[in-house]
Amino acid sequence: MRVIFTDFDGVLHAAAAAEGLSRSIVQAAGLAQLRQRGLFAHAAWLAEVIRASPHHESVRLVVHSSWRAHFRDDEIRGFLPELAPWFQGTVGFNTLARDAAILKWLEMMGGKVVDHLVLDDTPDLFSGGAGKWANLVVCDPAQGLGDPKAQAQVSDFLQRTRHAAADDLGALEFEPVNLDALKAELRGR
């Protein structure tokens, strides 16, 4: 499995598109209204580049955005209809910071993830920053995935045949995962 971990604000849309939003506003608005506001403007591009990749069957999208604390996985899937075929869910672990939640999710997958990429606009949320997370694509919050540099990095990840860069995760040894416990924990969210 090849996983793309994604943030929303500053990645799938410009950070400014989400200014002033609350959970109740998002829930009251339809998807068309959210799109008119500019939310999820880059979801179609991401779906297109995944679909065109030679590994599209093995790609999964996992959301690590702060939106995971406010919306259930089925609601998040509803925001991303173009990406639904690849949507795996959220990292969960809402009490953990993004970096820790991603590492925990990878650990729980028990080695099933052969390669991954992290899309975010705030490298300070990742201990050690972009220098330690070789698989972190830092998006310009004003452009998100509309930035050609970020698009090139995502495209390169989706085109490569194996993990080319070693990062701090390569040295970790993951413990076996109790899949029944994982499923129960994820259902409990």
DSSP string, 10-77: TTTB-GGGGTT--HHHHHHS-HHHHHHTTTTTTHHHHHHHHHTSTTGGGEEEEE-SGGGGTS-HHHHH
The model carries a pTM of: 0.82
Q: pLDDT below 50 — which residues of the chain?
A: 163-175
Tens digit of pLDDT for each residue in 164-189?
433 444 433 344 555 666 566 666 65
* Residue 81 per-residue DSSP state: G
Tens digit of pLDDT for each residue in 71-89?
999 999 999 999 999 999 9
